[in-house]
Structure formats: structure tokens, C-alpha cells
Chain A
């Protein structure tokens, strides 16, 4: 009964979070001092010079009609809630009209997820293990070295790490491609091999910086936990250090890390814009950036709606699984 009530309340919070988030993201782009129709006319003029005045007037009418920008803001909002939120049908991309925004997002999202989810999970696992060791055995020299490395790496902006990796491993040594070019011409083998090569450096840059953060946060959590009375009591009981580390310190420190992981996993849907730009890695991050620059309302809505739903859902899942990790927590 308690679980049902807890689940129901969390579900309502989840739905409200999403509704408020997507409402903001619907209205904010429409307040930009930009207009997708003028943007497209501007692009055409920039390319081909002065446009005949009659032609410009005709084109402007035609584009407004085709882009579905004729109805009132409220009508457009209701339409979006019905189609976009419930069916994930965000309408056509305005800059790649009439290709549906969802179709374009669907092309790039798997690459973003492959890169971001893999690097986030790996960084989380590696960072927490090292952080646990560094915090639990804080007086050992190896712990101090690991902590120092993490402190050095973590503050470096991830795009700077990406640039350094690109210069060293791709430009100077030539071990990896400068750009994430994926070869779709030579069958599955060539595709997978080029995908791995293309993803290696972007993933490494995210992994390095991400690991640094998890090490530092886990180290401080586990160091604090290691000082707790129940850990001392476990030592007095003669339990092994390994058992204390995993069963007492890690289990009590990991809860915060799981919440942070849930947020990071949800955020993975946003892509890593700078890494994607530096390595020309195909992803949702650059898609959002282009959509904002070109006032592609539907594409902005599509990308960010998916992200909002992902983060809200990941947080919901984390909330629901807490009691399984920490028996002190109850559904109430």
C-alpha cells in the first residue's frame, strides 16, 4: 500500500516535471528574436545574392504556410502536447523541411547514446572504484597519487582534453582519425571498425574528465563513511578490510553516486556538444546547437523533450530503486 502511494506520488511529480519542462521549451524559442522563415530567406539571399522583390513576397507566404506557423500560439501548443509529447511526433524539421524532426533525431540519437552512455557508465564504475580505494585507504601512497591525478584532470574542461587527445593521437601520431568519419561503404565489418575508431578519442576525452569527477566525489564520501562508528565497530568485530570496504563503506557511500548517475545518464541524451564539434562526431548535441541557431522550433522541441523525459524518468527509476540499495530507506 505504502509503495503504491509512493509510486503514485512519484509518477505525478514525474508527469508534472515533464509538463512544466516541455511548456518552457515550447515557449522560450518562440520568444527568440528570430524567425525561421526570415532565416531561410536570409540563407537563400546570402547564397544567391539579391532576391527579386515579387519572389521574396511569394516565398515568405509559401514558407509560413508550409512551416505551420499560421495558427495562434495556443493552437500550436495544444497541437504539440497532443502530437509531440504523447506520440513523439514533433512535426517536420523547419530547416530540413519536410523531413520529420523525429526522423533526423532518430538517426543521430543512437550515436550520442553509444558515446555518452558508454563513457558515463565506464567513468562511473572506474571512478567509484578508484574513489573508494582512495577514500577508504586514504593514508596509502597509491591513494594519494590517484587522488592527485584526479584533482589534476577533473578541472580541465572536457573540450580541452578532447583537443589535446586529437592533436597527440590523431594529428601527431596518426593512430586515430582526426574526424569521426564512419565508413558505410564496406559492409558491417568496415562500419563497426570505423565506428570504433571514430568513437575512441571522443569517448576517451569524456571518460578521462568524467572519471576524475567520480573519483573526487566518491573519495570524499567514502573517507567520511570510513570514519563512522559502524565502520570502527566492524573493524573491532575483526571483519576483513575488503568486506568493510565493499559491504560497509561502499554501500553507504554509493547512494549519492547513484542519484548523480541517474542524472548523468538522463543528460546523456543531450550529447556532448563540444566533443561532438571537435571530432565531428554525429550526435544530438550538434543537432540542438544548429537548431537553436536556425530557429528550427520543431527540432529544438524534439531534442529537448526527449532529454527532459529521459532525465525525469532516470530520476524516477533511481528513486524507486533506492530501497533495494539502502534498506534504511522506506517507501513513505
Chain B
């Protein structure tokens, strides 16, 4: 009996020791306190494929966040680019057809070879000359030649004036398709589009240590010579985690359980309901704000409702303003995320912090005074400038800790929202040619019904917004039909113009120069419904907006006129209302401080919480271990 008890005790101790050991190591056997575990959005079907120029490579699986070398990267807080491989911004001639790009000295590939202009020239020519690379056709349209001047200087000649070289071929939001590759390796390949590059030589601060052959995880290890990596040379700072494990976490319930049990440090995005449940279970879990409203509102894709303006009455601005007046934003915001989120009452731009300062605040007086002609000799105010204070009061009354300071309220809830005015909405519908008989609306003699589509399998914010709009329009008296579509169906329907009102995010941008955000709204690109065009799916046809786009195309983003034209474009869009913006992109991005701390947050906003963007490599230098 004694022997049996002893044996059981030893067994229990062994189990305890192994459990403790297991708790301190990751699923791939690395020390937990040296491994930052980051969620990737989707598992890859092509594990071991790290070549960014082979299609199907899952760049967001840590590849572009930790290894890729970009020409220009983005300071997501200021909305400004800076040189990563490039030393500063390009210098262009007067007509923007010749551009000199200096290359930063000191960056080495992970095999010790210097990264020079030779690599940049090779990569750009490789893209242009390889038909199997997606961007090849476009590079042929844009570039006449890409030549080596010396080891650290590149001369680029474009076929047409191209004033936005850095904006197009550098990072502005998520990443960019120009990623410099080592010439000494890629030049030896017969076909770059079929080279998997399973053991990549990189310029970023991490290299691949191991990967799951089933595509669930990739383990990255910090380069021993991190000082020579892009991040090392640009910042002089060491990424603090020795290992970064990118991992697909599975379905929502598994994601929550993994986070609660400290098996993951950073998640991509959750709903506010999921965040609150996780916070209750584990006090180390937080998001951008420690407490309510939790989420950052700086994602540059505002969500709202988009009109397909290729057909009547959606092509009539009076109709679009009528829809805006029929929607009560106080109700919408509660329906989406219980009041969380910065109102982004703009048709094209998004109210990110940078855009709020650059465009919205200067437009405050204009917005406060803007009135819409209702067609019966009366006018109605377009905007409700008291929204931030009102929603602040409402949430405070519910027991939320909301600041009272006006600037803080504007930062949290926005400058204004679209005004709610059902009477004005009725008048504008009549002005737009609709008739109301026996409480029902008719257009061109027929009963009028709006088809409203939203994406079923992505973006809760956009979906909830559209469902809220649907309920409110029904309440207002308009007959509506709600359709949920998979993103694949929506992509096809949007391209063909096969929708009437869609709940999604047609634009996104955080740079002061608006050209790259708005150039798709060029009316010259509009194609008939049923054909696939290369411009905006919504087919917004505005003459002055198109003229502005054409004028902007010819001038430098640094030219002060760029900002003036951008501001004029915003006013044109506001008055013509091609899109009703609800909020800027509201993201609940959870982090776990059990093993790592100093994540970017509202209190320490050195970067945005964009783990899936290529700028993540600059965040890795700041995230520090909890225990040394």
C-alpha cells in the first residue's frame, strides 16, 4: 500500500512538474516569456511559402509584419510616410517623370549581404518583366525605366507624370505590394512566381524559425544581427521578443478561451460583447482604452451606407439626403456598438484622429451652417453638432466613465453626425420624385422598395449599421428588403453594380493628400450597370469632383494646392452625399498583459493597434516582457 501511495505521489509530482513546464513553454516549445503570440486572421493553405511574389502567399501571417522590406513605411499616428529602405522621400523633376530615390545605408540581408540599390532596381524590374506577378501589367503602364545610378541611388523614369511615387509604392495603410527582395538570390531563379522561398533571406528584424506544415502557425526568431535589419537601422531599437509566434486561433469561442487562458497575447479583432466577457474572466485583457469605450476609432475605413448611383432614384442627391434625414444616428450608434465609436459623418473621408485635425475641425463651421433645400421653400440643417455632448451625457447616465471636456468628447464621439429630421426626409423624397399614397411610397407609379445588402461573414460594424438603417427606414415608412451576402457574392455584385444600398466601406486612407483615396471616384471610369469597371462601384457621377481628381493628379502631394483641392473635394462630396458615413473604423483589438506589456494604447499612442499591418515591426521594439 505504501509503495502504491509513493508511486502515486511521484506520478503526481511528475505531472505537476510537466504541467508547470508546459505552462512556461509555448505549443512549439519556445519559452513563453520570450515568445510574443499574435493572432493571424486566417490560416494559410500554402504553408512554407514566404515569397511575396508567388501568388497565394499569406502576407498577413507575419511575413510583411516582420520580414518584408518596404521602400516607405507609415507613421500611423501622424499619417505621414517615412523612408524604410529609401533614405527619405523621392526627389522628382518639375514634371514628375524622373525620380531619384536614395537608398538607406547599413541595412543587411539576414545572410549578411548588404541591401543596396541593386536590390531595389532588380525587384522593380522583376515585377515589371514577370507577367505572372499581379502588379506586372500596372508597372508596365507606369514605368519607362528603373536604373541603377550608384550602389545607393536609383533613377526611376515614368511614362506619364507621377507625383505620388512614395504614396503608391510605399505603405499608406495595410502594406504595399513592392517588397524588396535579395537580388543575389532571386536573380538566380528560373521562375520567381513558383519559388516558395521556404527559408527566406530577409531585411526585416525576424526570420522564419519553423512553420506548421498544416498552415496553423509560423514561428519567427529575432535576427542575431537585428541592428542591421530595417527596423534596427531606422530606429536603433531592438525588437524585444526573441520569438514571435503567429497563429490562427480558430472559431470565436476557441479564440476567447485561448486569450482568457493566456495562450495568446494579441488578437486581431473581436466584438465588444466578446471583449467584455474576456475582461471579466481575465483582468489582464484590455483594448485601446482600458475601460469604456475600449475601441480605437482610428481605423481608416469608415462604415456606413453606400448607394448604387447608376440608377434612379439613388442617383438623385435629394433622395440620398432624404435617407440621411430618415436615420436617427443616436439609435444607429446604440445598435452598432452601444454608443462606442467616433461619428464620421463624411461621404468619402474617415474621421481618424489625423483626418479629424486636418479636415473635419477646419470644416466645423461649414458643417454647422450647411442647409439642405427641401424643395418647398424651406431648408433643414444637414448636421447635428451636439451629438458628442448628447451621447456623452446618455452614456454617463448609464454609469459609463465618460469625460466632460469638449475636446475629449469630440475625440471620442466625433465632431458631428448627420441630422435626424423625418419631416425633412419626407419633403426630400417628394422632391426626388417619390409619391406617398395611403402611407406607402411610390416611384414612377410603382410601389417603391429598397434592397439593402450587407456582408454576412465579415465586419460586424458594417453589418450592424446596415441592419439598424433597415429597421429605421422601415419605421420611417419606406419598404425595404434586407439581403445578407458572403463577401465573395458582394465583391461580384458590387463590381457589377448589382445592388441598391450596401453596408460596407468603400474608402480608406490616412494621408493628408487625398488623391489615392479619391481617384476611383473619377466619373470617366464609370461603366454601365452589369459591366465591371475599374473605378468606384457606386458610380457616383459628379463633374466638379472629377475635375478636382484630374487637377490633383498633376500636382505633388507636397504642393499646398493639394490640400486646398482636397478640402474642396470634401465639400463637394458633403453636399452631394454619395455615401452616408456612420462611424470611422471602430476596432476592439484585445491585448493580454500577462507576459508582455507596453502595447500601443490610448494612454501610450506611439502607434495604432494594427498588428495585421506591415508597421507592426516598429511596434515590436516597444512591447516589453513583464518579467525579465
Binding site for B on A (CB under 8 A): 32-36, 38-39, 41-43, 46-63, 66, 93, 95-99, 104, 107-108, 111, 163, 166-167, 170-171, 174, 177-179, 181-186, 190, 194, 277-280, 282, 287, 290, 293-295
Contacts and interface: CB of A to CB of B under 8 A. Distances in A.
Contacts of B212: 181-182, 184
Interface string B506-519: 01110000001111
B175 A47 contact: yes
Contacts of A48: 172-177
B254 A178 contact: yes
B603 interface: no
A68 to B, nearest CB: 13
A50 B520 contact: yes
Contacts of B334: none
Interface in B116-169: 131-132, 134-138, 140-142, 168
B56 interface: yes
A99 B518 CA distance: 35
B136 A62 contact: yes
A34 B489 contact: yes
Interface stretch (B199-207, B255-263, B406-414, B415-423): B255-263
A213 to B, nearest CB: 25
A280 B175 CA distance: 28
Contacts, number: 199
B488 to A, nearest CB: 4
Contacts of B260: 171
A53 B525 contact: yes
B492 A35 contact: yes
* Nearest 8 interchain pairs by C-beta: A42-B491, A58-B137, A96-B56, A280-B250, A49-B508, A282-B214, A55-B138, A56-B534
A93 B215 CA distance: 16
A47 B64 CA distance: 13
Contacts of B357: none
Given A49-B517, A53-B522, A97-B56, A104 B135 contact: no
Contacts of A183: 27-29
Given A52-B519, A58-B137, A99 B45 contact: yes
A38 B491 contact: yes
Contacts of A51: 520
A46 B176 CA distance: 13
Given A46-B487, A53-B522, 11 more contacts: A35-B488, A50-B516, A56-B534, A59-B135, A99-B45, A166-B257, A183-B28, A278-B254, A280-B216, A280-B250, A280-B254
B244 to A, nearest CB: 15
21 contacts: A32-B489, A36-B488, A41-B495, A42-B488, A49-B516, A49-B517, A50-B516, A55-B138, A58-B141, A60-B532, A99-B56, A166-B253, A181-B217, A183-B28, A184-B210, A185-B219, A190-B29, A279-B250, A280-B249, A280-B251, A282-B216
B534 A181 contact: no
B491 A35 contact: yes
Interface string B167-202: 010001111110000000000000001100000000
Contact of A96 (B46, B136, B507): B46
Contacts of B140: 58
Q: Among B56, B176, B253, which residue has the most Cβ atoms of chain A within 10 A? A: B56
A34 B491 CA distance: 7
A260 B45 CA distance: 33
B45 A186 contact: no
Contact of B56 (A93, A163, A287): A93
Contacts of B175: 47-48
Contact of A47 (B136, B174, B263): B174
A100 to B, nearest CB: 11
Interface in B200-259: 210, 212-217, 219, 247-251, 253-254, 257-258
A95 B45 CA distance: 9
B249 A295 contact: no
B138 A52 contact: yes
A6 to B, nearest CB: 43
A279 B43 CA distance: 13
B517 A50 contact: yes
Nearest to B536: A50
B55 interface: yes
B486 interface: yes
Contacts of A294: 488
Nearest to B524: A53
Nearest to B508: A49
Contacts of A60: 532, 534
Contacts of B135: 55, 59
A181 to B, nearest CB: 5
Contacts of A36: 488
Contacts of B517: 49-50
Contacts of A177: 27
A18 B611 CA distance: 46
B457 interface: yes
A46 B300 CA distance: 11
Interface in B284-301: 300-301
A177 to B, nearest CB: 7
Given A52-B516, A184-B213, A178 B261 contact: yes
A63 B486 contact: no
